Amino acid sequence: MKLVKAIEKYKLFVQFKDGIEGTLDLSDVAGKEAFKIWDKGNTFFDVFISDESGAITWPGEIDIDTYNAYCNIKGINPEDFFKSVQSSYSPSGDGSKRVLFIDRDGTMIQEYPPTYQIDSFNKVSFYPYVFKYLGKIATELNYELVLVSNQDGLGTDKFPEEDFWPVHNLVMSSFASEGISFKEELIDRSYPEENLDTRKPGIGMFVNYLNNPEYDMANSLVIGDRITDVQLAKNLGCKAIWLNNNPDLGGAEVKDSLEELRKITALETQDWQAIYEFLKLGKREIKHLRKTNETDITIELNLDGSGNANIKTGLGFFDHMLEQIARHGLIDLSIITKGDLNIDEHHTIEDTGIALGEAFTKAIGDKKGIERYGFALPMDEAEAKVLIDFGGRNWIVWNADFSRDRVGDMPTELFFHFFKSFSDAAKCNLNIECRGENEHHKIEAIFKAFAKAIKMAVKKDPLKNYLPSTKGVL
């Protein structure tokens, strides 16, 4: 059986022994779409992208039953396919090994201010939950682990070797005893004022990984607690996970602005559990375009964001409402809508709802592990209730009346059309009710409740990698 015919960037071509060919298209990796290999027009095998890098999780996110049934009919050994693709597939086409370059002090063990020199056993304190979650990363995910550490003046009178190595060896043996092994330890001994390229964020210690076809640096990450670790990631051409407990640490040794460095920060947290979940689930982040004769819409959506919003629809009150979805749903949302407002507001509002629903469908992906249902009942001057079910079927129940024709620059009749459009495009059920006196507050309460319901429904648990349905499909 000839399995892998050719590999191009983001595409994998396969051929079975009976001559049936298929294409695994990875062109929209960030969207975590479900990609199909087709058997003469019929889906027989679903592959879901596990993270932003395009790496495939084996075998947890594969429709095993469907594929096994196909293999039984065709006489194909199912294990052969997994092994062949796993060994042959490269997300970037230039190497399949991904690396986690992990800082020691402040990341694996706690910093020890004010000296920040851990030279005795009584200074060793392990970072909370690092064994549990780094252990899960080491055993469940396909990364090589490399330790990277600056140890100022190691080997000098101020920091003798005999003070460093016993402590360091205890730290590393403690991780090894928990099944966490490092391929290599990269330790620089210089002081900052020496400006050596081997000192983080310099890349002098990383010659074995740079321009090496065995490594996929673009999809590797640096994990550390200092902004210098983020700068290192930028210098290496990879992403950073910033355990940001003190943003001032290392600030004097970086050349790029904090704004620039945050652009390559894949995750900013203080929690190893969040790191594990991010690496396990991937970043549910997409860019979606929708263009018609009436509107031109660009949406950028990150379901695992922090509430950042950039909304420009040309309608001030509508922008304000859409910002509530980001802020109260804890998603990052950018919506740029250019509509035919010279005619009226209808196309702009309705098409934005359609495009946003389509974006959610792409970002949610295969729906495995999500809660699926969400509800919220915030109380203020207005009472709003929103229930949502991302169950694959569109339907809306709307019980909200408004006594004014407009609020700000937006017709109140079009709020129903926005949510109806979202429901249709996202293939979700929506039940929306609202009571109150102030029209502005009623509408805002609906959007806040909608955001909270979405936040609940799209929450994903890395330990529950199954479809929330007895039907087996959503």
Residue matched to tokens 């098409």: 351
Residue matched to tokens 């003046």: 153
Distance CA 455, CA 361 (A): 14
* Phi/psi of residue 277, nearest 5 degrees: -65, -40
Q: Which residues of 433-468 are buried (b: 16+ CB within 10 A; e: fewer)?
A: bbebeebbbbbbbbbbbbbbbbbbbbebeeeebebb
Distance CA 433, CA 453 (A): 13
Distance CA 450, CA 20 (A): 46
Q: Which of 103, 229, 332, 351 is catalytic?
A: 103
Best CA proximity match to 6, nearest among 18, 28, 23: 23
Active site residue 103: yes
Active site residue 296: no
Q: Which of 105, 188, 366, 389 is catalytic?
A: 105
Beta-bridge mates of residue 226: none
Beta-bridge mates of residue 126: 109
Contact partners, residue 237, CB within 8 Å, separation at least 6: 217, 218
Q: Which residues are catalytic?
A: 103, 105
